[in-house]
Amino acid sequence: MEGINVFSPLLILSLIFLLTSLSINLITPIWPIYIKSLGASMAELGYVFAISNAVAAILQLVSGPLSDRYGRRNLHLVGTSMAFLPPLIYTFARSWVDLIPWVILFGASVGIYTPIRWSIVSDLSTSERRGKAYSLINMSYYTGFIVGPFLGGFIADLYHIRAPLILCFILLALTFPLSLLIPETGKKRKDNEFVGEDYEKEALFVRVMTVFSLMYFIEGIGFGLFNPITPVFVVKRFSVDLSFVGLLYTLGNGAVSTVLQVPGGWLADKYDKRKIVIITYFIASPFFLLFALASETWELFIFMALSLGLISFPWSAHQSLRMNMTPRVRWGLVNALSYTMFWGGMTVGSALSGLLWESFGMLTPYYASAISMFLAVIPIFFLGKEDLNSENNL
């Protein structure tokens, strides 16, 4: 990290994560319902999510390695500049089909900037403090989960369901000038040469990436099954307004996830990261089903906290574990592969969510989501002792 002012760029990056998260979470409680209001069936709702996720998955595979080779800053600016226009254009749609070109563009922007942003976090931190750096970023990211959903649902009820989309556009537009302040962090070694411990890590790279790729793909399926249908499910099952849906995401997901980032980052730096991931996923997975079996609205808050909220607890652990076990010159590639697999899983899960709902009933996607979350952690068991020694000692 020689020659780099760590704190200023990291704080600016955390603000970018905050604004991005806030803008996207503004539309979390209303987006599936808005798509339905444009005439989409449950299956077609899933397809809209799947199309955007598929584009994001494909481009993440490209953007990470390109940022390793040519630098992160310019590619990050391209991705950020593509993000803010689609939410505004969504407001002019008259059919769910009108959304397709713009969800493709938005998915492309996410695909470009996501692996680069997470690589910048690693660029600006040492292996000893990477868990805390990810914890800081995750706290900023999850703060948007606290404020965004309730604000978005409240604005939609107070004004119009399109109003959160306009505010989303404004907030995403603010991330571009902030991105101009992020320095180049990717090109620090001449010709991307390996040094020191990178050679030992490179020998384990295929195994480590296979493990994490499988984990993220299966986990992505679980999220893809759960996320598109949940606002529709809550409104249909309990006859609540959009403000309630927003409050559910704010308290059940955002507040819990944000609070958990502090102990999550601390434990990730102090204890066995693999065990933290395994224990948390095994505890959280059943609650993805129990959420759909809730009979009272207050139970929704408890079960969302123990599913979406709790599953975020080990994110600092597996993010820092993944990066610490990877050669530095592969960080862009490792993030690209990881997020490509995650968004690929999201694509599959999203496409299946509406189909399962229509074919087998609205509880079926939740059964499948719980099973996916349980299975997602199994690949972590295949990290051998030599892999863990690589992470701990290098």
Whether 247 shows a pLDDT value over 80: the answer reads yes
**Each residue of 148-188: pLDDT tens digit?**
999 999 999 999 999 999 999 999 999 999 999 888 876 65
Domains of the chain, by residue range, sit at: 7-185+198-393
Helix (H, G, I), strand (E, B) or coil at 238: helix
Alpha-carbon torsion, ordered 126, 131, 134, 139, to 10 deg: -140
The torsion angle over the Cα atoms of residues 43, 45, 46 and 51, rounded to 10 degrees, is 120
Between 377 and 388, the higher pLDDT residue: 377
Q: Give 170 or 314, the one with higher predicted confidence.
A: 170
Band of pLDDT at residue 2, cut at 50, 70 and 90: very low
At 391, give phi and psi (nearest 5°). Answer: -70, -40
pTM over cut 0.85: no
Taking a C-beta distance cutoff of 8 angstroms, is the pair 107, 52 a contact? Answer: yes
**Exposed, middle or buried, 88 (CB in 10 Å: 0-12/13-18/19+)?**
middle
**C-beta of residue 51 within 8 angstroms of C-beta of residue 213:** no
CATH fold of the domain at 7-185+198-393: Growth Hormone; Chain: A; (1.20.1250)
- What's residue 293's pLDDT? 95
Residue 392 has pLDDT above 60, yes or no: no
Q: What is the mean pLDDT of the chain?
A: 85
CA atoms within 13 A of residue 225's CA, in its CB half-sphere: 24
pLDDT single digits (tens) 103-134: 999 999 998 988 888 888 877 766 666 667 77
Tell me which residue has tokens 């006859």.
239
CA dist 165 to 100, 175, 232, Å?
16, 16, 18
**Residue 250: Cβ within 10 Å count:** 25
Longest dimension (CA), the chain: 60
Is residue 136 within 8 A of residue 267, CB to CB? The reply is no
